[in-house]
Structure 1
Amino acid sequence: MADHPSTSGGETLNTGETAWKDRAALHPADGADGVFDGGKALQRGTFAEMIRHLANMPAETRRNYAIEKAGDRRYSADEAMALASHPDFPAQDPG
């Protein structure tokens, strides 16, 4: 989950770390992927920022959104909330 492929067409590296500073975007959960998917982002920032943003929403609203992380995959609101309780999750931006 943490690293981009090491070479063109390569596999992702498995460092066991979560890349909280990777670029990410908030999307509607029911949005379809496609060529123009990147233009449908509702908000952009780091992966940690997008998780914090979701965490500040009411639970019933949160399920309507997903996070797409650069070089990785789409995370549901439930997955994002599980990551928010991870021991190394940055509670706030380092500044």
Structure 2
Amino acid sequence: MSDIPSTIRAESAGPERFHWEDSAELHKCADGGGLFHNLKVIRRGSVSELVRFVMSLPEDEQDDYAIQKDGDRTFRIGEIRALSRRADFPATDA
């Protein structure tokens, strides 16, 4: 699923809900970013699970991680922290 709204007919459907259940991968930021960068997955899970995991780490270690949402984008620590503060952030996965 994608959080990007369609541009067909330039219709606005209002605020899109965030797809917390989408699959994602946790990457270590300092892993070099070389040819096999995408193979260096630390953990897989839903976006909400990985946000929760990163936020459970000591604050000085959180900067070392990024979440790659499948088919969408990469979230660095500033965005991960902002996601964890959203009103619609699930406390647990159902």
Any unmatched runs of 5+ in structure 1?
5-11
Any unmatched runs of 5+ in structure 2?
7-14
The TM-score with structure 1 as length reference comes to 0.78
Identity of aligned residues (%): 32
Aligned length: 85
Equivalence map 1:1-95=2 (5 Å): 3=2, 12-13=4-5, 16-31=16-31, 32=33, 34=35, 36-94=36-94
The TM-score with structure 2 as length reference comes to 0.79
Q: Which has the larger radius of gyration?
A: 2
Return structure 1 stretches of 4+ with deviation > 3 angstroms.
Answer: none
Name the CA distance, whole Å, in 2 between partners of 1:44 and 1:37. Answer: 15
Q: CA RMSD in A?
A: 2.0
- Secondary structure in 2 aligned to 1:88? coil
